[in-house]
């Protein structure tokens, strides 16, 4: 996917979806979509496409699969806009649909998992600070693949998309404690992979392990 650009269409700037004005705008768009307003639908699609494409492409490593999930999601948004009552924020509602679609895509399709090789060694990080963030992200993407789907999705919803614990629980349709547990296990696994990543010394690793044991206990 690296270097893929589709710049033939205007792409509205991604909003700060946590502000009240953008939430109100999205609620208004959904109301107009319920009346069959295609312009409103296009605007809402533009607001979410980049966010979802990034999130889903990272999970699936395939833009075509991500695009399929996005379009499945917005097909539902188009059809069910009238059922949105504003009980949750628009982004929680839409991400909830996307989450279920993505989970189904993972479960029904072995093609994604077949692409992955969980046993592949993680590349060591460079000492060059300018490249470190890029490499760390690559490493995280690689490490995330090794997590179970539910944990992976929870990590992305929390760290990348910035949802609160309650919002993730709504999106994933599970209790708050389940979200915390999923993230706890995901974090533990990511931490286990950290020494391989950072070239940590055995002493560092021992210290880290001690800290984690303390957190678990």
Partner 1 sequence: MIATGDFACHEEAWLALPWLANGRLSQTERDKIEPHVRQCSACKEELAFQRLICDSLTAPDRVTYAPGPSFRKLMDRIDGTAPRPQKTGERSKVPASPGRAPNRGKVSPWRPPGLAWAAASFALVIGFVGVLSTVYRSSELLYTTHTDTARATPNILHIAFDRSLTIGEAEEALRSTGARIVEGPDSTGVIGIRPVASGAGDATSAGDRREMRVLSARLRADPRVRWVEPILGGDSPGERRAPLSRGQ
**Smallest gap, in angstroms, from Cβ of residue 24 to partner 1?**
20
Any alpha helices (H) in 81-164, and if so which ranges? 90-108, 110-115, 129-144, 149-155
What is the number of alpha carbons within 13 Å of residue 122 lying toward its C-beta? 24
CA 53 to chain centre: 9
3 lies in the site for partner 1, by CB under 8 A: yes
Per CB under 8 A, the list member of 17, 106, 163, 171 interacting with partner 1 is 163
Q: With respect to partner 1, which residue has the nearer C-beta, 70 or 145?
A: 70
Instruction: Please report, as residue ranges, which positions from 112 to 131 form the binding site for partner 1 (by CB under 8 A).
Output: none
Cβ pair 158, 180 in contact under 8 A: no
What sign has the CA pseudo-torsion 23, 11, 134, 150? positive
160 lies in the site for partner 1, by CB under 8 A: yes
Cβ pair 197, 124 in contact under 8 A: yes
Instruction: Please report, as residue ranges, which positions from 19 to 58 form the binding site for partner 1 (by CB under 8 A).
Output: 33-36, 38, 42, 45-46, 49-50, 53-54, 57
Orientation of helix 176-198 relative to helix 202-216, angle to 10°: 170
For partner 1, the binding residues (CB under 8 A) are 1-11, 33-36, 38, 42, 45-46, 49-50, 53-54, 57, 63, 67-68, 70-71, 74-75, 78-83, 108, 133-134, 136-137, 140, 155-156, 158-160, 162-165, 167, 180, 183-184, 187, 190-191, 194, 208, 210-212, 214-215, 217
């Amino acid at each position: 996917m690296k270097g893929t650009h589709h710049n033939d269409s205007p792409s509205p700037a991604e909003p700060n979806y946590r502000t009240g004005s953008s939430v109100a705008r999205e609620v208004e768009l959904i109301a107009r979509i319920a009346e069959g307003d295609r312009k409103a639908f296009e605007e809402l699609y533009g607001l979410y496409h980049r966010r979802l494409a990034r999130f889903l492409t990272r999970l699936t490593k395939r833009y075509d699969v991500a695009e399929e999930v996005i379009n499945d999601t917005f097909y539902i948004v188009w059809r069910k806009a009238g059922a949105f009552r504003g009980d949750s924020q628009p982004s929680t509602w839409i991400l909830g649909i996307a989450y279920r679609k993505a989970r189904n895509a993972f479960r029904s399709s072995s093609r994604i998992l077949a692409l992955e090789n969980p046993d592949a060694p993680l590349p060591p990080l460079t000492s060059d600070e300018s490249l470190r963030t890029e490499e760390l992200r690559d490493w995280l993407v690689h490490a995330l693949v090794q997590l179970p789907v539910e944990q992976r999705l929870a990590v992305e919803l929390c760290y990348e998309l910035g949802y609160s614990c309650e919002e993730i629980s709504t999106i994933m349709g599970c209790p708050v404690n389940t979200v915390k547990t999923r993230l706890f296990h995901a974090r533990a696994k990511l931490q286990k992979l950290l020494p391989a990543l950072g070239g940590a010394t055995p002493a560092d690793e021992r210290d880290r392990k001690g800290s984690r044991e303390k957190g678990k206990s």
